[in-house]
Amino acid sequence: MLPLRKLTLAIALSSISALSLADTTLLNVSYDVMRDFYKDYNPAFAKHFEAKFKDKVTIQQSHGGSSKQARSVIDGLEADVVTMNMATDIDAIVEKGKQINAGWDKKFPNEAAPFSSLQVLIVRKGNPKGIKDWNDLTKAGVQVVVPNPKTSGNGRYTFLAAWGAALKQNGGNEAKAREFTQAIFNNVPVLDAGGRAATTTFMQRQIGDVLVTFENEAEMIAREFGRGNFEVIYPSASIDADLPVAVVDKVVDKKGSRKAAIEYLSFLWSEQGQEIAAQNYLRPRNAAVAAKYAKQFPNVKLFGVAEFGGLKAAQKKFFDDGAIYDQIAADIAKKK
Amino acid sequence: MKLKQSSVLPGFNLALGYSLLYLSLIVLLPLSALFAKTMGLDWSSFWAIVTEARVVATYKVTFGASLIAALINLFVGMLIAWVLVRYPFPGKRFIDALVDLPFALPTAVAGIALATLYAPNGLLGEPLDKLGIKVAFTPLGIVLALTFITLPFVVRTVQPVLEDMERELEEAASSLGATRWQIFSKVILPTIFPALLTGFTLAFARAIGEFGSVIFIAGNMPFKSEITPLMIISKLEQYDYMGATAIAVVMLLVSFALLLLINGLQWWMAKRLGRRK
């Protein structure tokens, strides 16, 4: 090859690599309700990244139901990072798609969940049915709107929250807990496929007396429908829903984006990241930030999924086909 | 019929080859992938999945509601086609274009619109609710959504046949002393019957597979208003790919059997009426 040609080629090649260096693109595959949070977080992160590495980064978002998003990654959607509402969704990517290495939950603090949320009760203005706690949801004549536990992580958390609260009240009596949870689901008029759809049913269609959903979804409702239209009731006990994140190893190794991906997720634990989370009504891990926003996060006795032996065990015991939730649904249908 | 047929038009072999290749790539290959995935299940677990009580309940909802919706559109669609062909009226072109709207609309949009309209606080839902009729979040809502989605099929298949029909036939029947009912049942109906049946079949088939619009208005209560596609989705939520494909295979087989049956019926009718050799 002629020296001149070699030179041009070298220049051409280096300019290509320079171009790709200057333009790191990360794809964050996330779930529905996180849309608002990442809208605030991504620009803040891009600024931080540029200041730290003198390099630009572009973040692309993909939102949908948590498990649906995990399936897309398993089927080959090239996500650099995944941010889900259930650890089982990330575990599924580890097991079925093998794009994420086992042990992902040890790579970041707090079992790789930078913030958490919990299930709260949302009632109509003035709380006409006088709903104060889980017990009130079992009463006849109270309509409870929840998303379908078979198709929604939000719905599964609701089920577990009710079950766990019943266990606490009855000294761990499983039969009582089952009776209690069945009574609540007996009051459900509509089972929407996801959390957002349930919100629409409750707020827009005005169906039901109480909506059970994540605390941060309540903030979305306030922004969307106005604060005066509903009240948030904190039950005496609720479930701590950890919202986990992970780097997709196979993709970042292929794309060479590991450094940026790790930085993207680590920044979630930074003071700024935690503050943005708190502003979006996600409970922060950082003690200082938590103290600063303490007023908006009332104290609730929380229990974790560890109560059920972890999410994986809970899935098997309650939500797999033919498991407790299906039995309850069949019982309700039979009695009606 | 011989495969190699002499025809005045050349290119039969090429055309047949192309048709088969195209059908294989677009229809057969994806569907056989579905079957291949189910092959991982042994027969007894396949049977257990597809005959589970809750899944069986969804077959009834899906196929029952689809049948009702297709029957409704059989009559309403015929009526609309009749009016559009036979009577001049202002705004006819507009109404004609309106018929296709359910085709163009994303089904989810249709579902949300119908749910809003027929919810207990909706424009139509509220007065109906006072009469004690609940539409949204009941099986009735499913029928409504499916009827909406499948409206164009009967209209669009019957319309051209009606347009081509010679009025002289009716006039001849009339001059021979036939009553209006006789003209309808002996002259008009046999002519449009094959088209009606085709429209009905298409509407029925389309309704069975419908997901987007139904999911918003069904309420999705177990054993009551769950459709089969929802069972597939809920299996997928558990990463149970095989279970999902097993149910999909059942839907596919039943749908295909029904289509085959109706096509056979149509062929038999046409033969009886002496329209085909």
Residue B10, SS3? coil
Positive or negative: CA dihedral A5, A6, A7, A10: positive
pLDDT digit string, tens, across residues B246-260? 999 999 998 889 889
Residue with tokens 């085909």: B276
Rounded Cα–Cα distance for residues A151 and A153 (Å): 7
pLDDT of B272 > 80? The answer is no
For residue A70, count other CB atoms closer than 10 A to its CB: 29
Contact between A180 and B267 under an 8 Å Cβ cutoff? The reply is no
Gap between the Cα atoms of A95 and A102, Å rounded: 8
pLDDT at A280 over 80: yes
Nearest CA in chain B to A189: B219
Q: Do A321 and B236 touch (CB under 8 A)?
A: no
Q: Inform me whether the pLDDT recorded for B39 exceeds 60.
A: yes
Please give the average per-residue pLDDT across A233-262, as a whole number: 95
B233: which residues sit within 8 A by CB, 6+ positions away? A151, A193, B211, B244
Statement: residue A23 has pLDDT above 60: yes
Nearest CB among B216, B223, B240 relative to A330 is that of B223
Quote the minimal CA–CA distance from B30 to chain A in Å: 16
Q: A329 contacts in B (CB within 8 Å)?
A: 54, 222-223
Task: Write the burial class of residue A212 (CB in 10 Å: 0-12 exposed, 13-18 middle, 19+ buried).
Answer: buried
Q: What is the mean pLDDT of chain B?
A: 90
pLDDT (tens digit per residue) in B139-166:
999 999 999 999 999 999 999 999 998 8
Best B237, B241, B245, B247 member to test A by mutation, with max A CBs in 10 Å, is B237
Q: How confident is the model at residue A18 (pLDDT cuts 50, 70, 90)?
A: very low
> To 10 degrees, the CA torsion angle through B242, B244, B248, B251?
120
What value does the mean pLDDT take over residues B92-106? Answer: 92
Structure tokens at B80: 């609309």
Which amino acid type is present at position B153?
Answer: F
**What's residue A59's pLDDT?**
95
Residue A235 and residue A133 in contact, taking contact as beta carbons nearer than 8 Å: yes
pLDDT class for A1, splitting at 50, 70, 90? very low
**Residues A201, A204, A208, A214, Cα dihedral to 10°:** 70
Contacts of B243 in chain A (CB under 8 A): 321
pLDDT tens by residue, A317-335: 999 999 999 999 999 998 8
**A32-76 pLDDT, tens per residue?**
878 889 999 999 999 999 999 999 999 999 998 888 899 999 999
CB spacing of A205 vs B136 below 8 angstroms: yes
Residues of chain B found within 8 Å of residue A71, distances taken between Cβ atoms: 236, 239
Tell me, what's the pLDDT at B76? 96
pLDDT score recorded for residue B176: 93
Phi-psi category of residue A125: left, alpha or beta, with phi > 0 → left and psi -120 to 50 → alpha: beta
All residues of chain B having their beta carbon less than 8 Å from the beta carbon of residue A90 are: none
- Determine the Cα–Cα distance for residues B271 and A151; give it in Å rounded to an integer: 49
Question: What residue type is B48 in one-letter code?
Answer: A
- Give one DSSP letter per residue of B230-245, joined into a string: HHHHHHHHTT-HHHHH
Gap from A144 CA to chain B (nearest CA, Å): 13
Q: Is the pLDDT of residue B90 over 70?
A: yes
Indicate yes or no: CB of A189 within 8 angstroms of CB of B224: no
Give DSSP secondary structure letters for A76-97: T---SEEE-S-HHHHHHIIIII
For testing the chain B interface, which of A145, A191, A207 should be mutated: the one with the most B CBs within 10 Å?
A: A191
User: Which residues of A fall within a CB distance of 8 Å from B119?
Assistant: 205-207
Residue B219 structure tokens: 């309420």
Q: Does B240 touch chain A (CB under 8 A)?
A: yes
B271 or A54, greater pLDDT: A54
pLDDT of A19: 47
Write the pLDDT tens digit of every residue in A188-217.
Answer: 999 998 888 899 999 999 999 999 999 998
Return the structure tokens found at B265: 């019926």
Between positions 62 and 101 of B, the ones with CB within 8 A of A are none
Check pLDDT > 60 for residue B178.
Answer: yes
Residue A223 pLDDT greater than 50, yes or no: yes
| R_g of chain B computed on alpha carbons | 22
Q: How far apart are CA A234 and CA A159, in angstroms?
A: 16
Residues of A with CB under 8 A from a CB of B: 65, 67-68, 71, 74, 92, 96, 148, 150-152, 188-193, 197, 204-207, 315, 319-322, 326, 329-330, 332-333, 336
Residue A121: per-residue pLDDT: 96
The tens digit of pLDDT for each residue in A295-314 reads: 999 999 999 999 899 999 99
Using DSSP's 3-state secondary structure scheme, residue B227 falls into coil
pLDDT at B271: 81
**Which tokens in the block code for residue A249?**
């190893």
Cα A163 to chain centroid, rounded: 20
Separation between Cα atoms, residue B20 and residue B258, nearest integer Å? 23
